[in-house]
Amino acid sequence: MALLETRHLSKVYGLHTDTEFVALHDINFEVEEGEMICIMGPSGSGKSTFINAISTIDYPTSGNVLIDGEEVRALTGKQIGRFRSSTLGFIFQNYNLLDTHTLYENIAMPMSLAKVNQKEQAKRIKELADYLGITACLNKYPNACSGGQKQRAAICRALVNEPKIIVADEPTGNLDSKNSKRLMDVFKDLNDQGVTIIMVTHDALVASYSSRFVYLHDGRIETELRRGDLSQDEYFEKIMAINARESQEVLKQ
Amino acid sequence: MIHHALRSMRQSLSHTIFFTLTFIITSAFILLYFTLALSDEIGVTLFYSSNNIQTVVSILVILICMVAIFFANDFYVKQKAQDLAVQLVCGATYSQLVLYLLMQTGLLMMIGIVSGMALGLFMMPGFNVILEQIFHVTHMLSFNQEAFVATVVVLVMVIFYATFLNLGYSYRNSIHNLLVNRGEMGKIGFRIPKLFRAIVTPKVKGMFALILVVMMTVMFCLSDASDLFGYALIWLFGFSLAVNNVVLPGLRYLVAHKWAMHPHLMAIGGFLRHDIHALKSELLLLIGSDIIFYTLMIRNVTDAVASTLSGLSFVVVNILMSMVIMFKYSSEVSTRSQSAQVLLCVGYLMEDIDHIIRRETLLFYAFIVLSDMIVITTIGGNLVIHHIISQNLLMGMIVLFLIPMAICMLMNMFYYHRVIHGDLLQRAE
Ligand SMILES: Nc1ncnc2c1ncn2[C@@H]1O[C@H](COP(=O)(O)OP(=O)(O)OP(=O)(O)O)[C@@H](O)[C@H]1O
Ligand SMILES: [Mg+2]
pLDDT digits (tens, 9 = 90+) for B275-320: 999 888 889 989 988 888 888 777 766 666 666 667 777 877 888 8
- What is the atom index within ligand 1 of the atom nearest the CA of A52? 18
**CA-CA distances (angstroms) from residue B413 to A20, A99, A175, B366, B416?**
34, 21, 40, 13, 5
Nearest CA in chain A to B272: A100
Instruction: Report the range of poorest mean pLDDT among B75-79, B175-179, B270-274, B319-323.
Output: B175-179
Which of residues B223 and B253 earns the better pLDDT score? B253
Q: B263, A113: Cβ pair inside 8 Å? A: yes
CA–CA dist B291, B288 (Å, integer): 5
pLDDT in tens, A209-237: 999 999 999 999 999 999 989 999 999 99
Instruction: Fill in the DSSP letter of residue A135.
Output: G
Instruction: Report the range of poorest mean pLDDT among A183-192, B151-160, B266-275, B383-392.
Output: B151-160
Q: A82, B343: Cβ pair inside 8 Å? A: no
CA–CA dist A150, A158 (Å, integer): 12
Question: Is A225 in contact with A212 (CB distance < 8 Å)?
Answer: yes
**Predicted ipTM beyond 0.90:** no
**Domain ranges for chain B:** 1-185, 195-429
* DSSP result, B118-152: HHHHHHHHHHHHHHHHHH---S-----HHHHHHHH
Instruction: Report the range of poorest mean pLDDT among A15-29, A82-96, A174-188, B69-83.
Output: B69-83
Q: In the predicted model, what is the mean pLDDT of residues B337-343?
A: 89
- Residue B166 confidence (pLDDT): 66
Q: In the predicted model, what is the mean pLDDT of residues B192-207?
A: 74
**Cβ neighbours of B266 in A, within 8 Å:** 105, 108-109, 112
Instruction: Report the range of poorest mean pLDDT among B21-25, B178-182, B368-372.
Output: B178-182
Q: What is the percentage of chain B residues whose pLDDT exceeds 90?
A: 19
The helix-helix angle for B94-135 and B145-172 (nearest 10°) equals 140
Nearest CA to ligand 1 atom 29: A44
Question: Is A212 in contact with A38 (CB distance < 8 Å)?
Answer: yes
Neighbouring-strand partners of residue B281: none
Q: B345, A110: Cβ pair inside 8 Å? A: no
- Contact of A92 with chain B, judged by CB distance below 8 Å, is answered with yes
- Residue B134 confidence (pLDDT): 61
* Pocket-testing residue among A9, A13, A243, ligand 1, by greatest number of atoms within 8 A of Cβ: A13
pLDDT in tens, A32-54: 999 999 999 999 999 999 999 99
Which of residues A5 and B38 earns the better pLDDT score? A5
pLDDT in tens, B400-422: 899 999 999 999 999 899 888 87
pLDDT band at B185 (very low <50, low <70, confident <90, very high): very low
Q: Are strands A88-91 and A220-226 parallel, antiparallel or unpaired?
A: unpaired
**Cβ neighbours of B350 in A, within 8 Å:** 77
Q: How far is the CA of A45 from the centre of ligand 2 (A)?
A: 8
Nearest to B261 among A80, A118, A143 (CB): A118
Pick from B409, B328, B411: which is nearest to B362 by CA? B409
pLDDT in tens, A107-126: 999 999 989 999 999 999 99
Q: C-alpha angle B213/B216/B218, rounded to 5°?
A: 110
- Residue B358 confidence (pLDDT): 95
Residues with CB under 6 A from ligand 1: A 13-14, 21, 23, 41, 43-49, 93
- What is the atom index within ligand 1 of the atom nearest the CA of A46? 18
Question: Is A104 in contact with A138 (CB distance < 8 Å)?
Answer: yes
Q: How far is the CA of A11 from the centre of ligand 2 (A)?
A: 14
Q: How far is the CA of B249 from the centre of ligand 2 (A)?
A: 38
- Contact of A101 with chain B, judged by CB distance below 8 Å, is answered with yes
Q: How far is the CA of A246 from the centre of ligand 1 (A)?
A: 18
Question: Is B32 in contact with B123 (CB distance < 8 Å)?
Answer: yes
Q: What is the percentage of chain B residues whose pLDDT exceeds 70?
A: 73
Neighbouring-strand partners of residue A30: A5
Question: Is B268 in contact with B240 (CB distance < 8 Å)?
Answer: no
Neighbour order of strands in the sheet with A165-169 = A88-91, A165-169, A196-200, A36-40, A212-217, A220-226
Q: How far is the CA of A49 from the centre of ligand 1 (A)?
A: 6
Q: Are strands A62-67 and A4-13 parallel, antiparallel or unpaired?
A: antiparallel
Neighbouring-strand partners of residue A37: A198, A212
Q: A77, B273: Cβ pair inside 8 Å? A: no
Q: B348, A81: Cβ pair inside 8 Å? A: yes
The values of phi and psi at residue A34, to 5°, are 85, 0
Instruction: Report the range of poorest mean pLDDT among A71-85, A147-161, B290-304.
Output: B290-304
Instruction: Report the range of poorest mean pLDDT among A3-17, B155-169, B289-303, B353-367.
Output: B155-169
Q: How many angstroms away from the CA of B9 is the closest CA of chain A?
A: 22
* Pocket-testing residue among A18, A21, A174, ligand 1, by greatest number of atoms within 8 A of Cβ: A21
The values of phi and psi at residue A37, to 5°, are -105, 135
Q: A101, B255: Cβ pair inside 8 Å? A: yes
CA–CA dist B74, B55 (Å, integer): 28
- Residue B315 confidence (pLDDT): 79
Q: In the predicted model, what is the mean pLDDT of residues B247-251?
A: 92
Instruction: Fill in the DSSP letter of residue B137.
Output: -
Q: In the predicted model, what is the mean pLDDT of residues A182-205?
A: 92
Question: Is A145 in contact with A137 (CB distance < 8 Å)?
Answer: yes
**Cβ neighbours of A78 in B, within 8 Å:** 349
Nearest CA to ligand 1 atom 24: A43
- Residue A53 confidence (pLDDT): 92
Q: How far is the CA of A199 from the centre of ligand 2 (A)?
A: 11
Instruction: Fill in the DSSP letter of residue A144.
Output: G
- Residue B407 confidence (pLDDT): 94
Q: How many angstroms away from the CA of A97 is the closest CA of chain B?
A: 7
Quickly count helices (H) and strands (E) in chain B.
17, 0
Q: Is the dihedral of CA B288, B293, B296, B297 positive or negative?
A: negative
Q: What pTM, to 2 d.p., does this model score?
A: 0.82
Q: A108, B260: Cβ pair inside 8 Å? A: yes
Q: A109, B260: Cβ pair inside 8 Å? A: no
Which of residues B16 and B260 earns the better pLDDT score? B260
Question: Is A42 in contact with A201 (CB distance < 8 Å)?
Answer: no
Q: B263, A116: Cβ pair inside 8 Å? A: no
Q: A100, B274: Cβ pair inside 8 Å? A: yes
* DSSP result, B17-41: HHHHHHHHHHHHHHHHHHHHHTSTT
Nearest CA to ligand 1 atom 7: A13
- Contact of A85 with chain B, judged by CB distance below 8 Å, is answered with yes
Q: How far is the CA of A61 from the centre of ligand 2 (A)?
A: 18
Question: Is A203 in contact with A40 (CB distance < 8 Å)?
Answer: no
CA–CA dist B329, B28 (Å, integer): 22
Query: Testing the interface with A: which of B254, B261, B338 to mutate, by most A Cβ within 10 A?
Result: B261
B273 pLDDT above the threshold of 90: yes
- Residue B178 confidence (pLDDT): 59
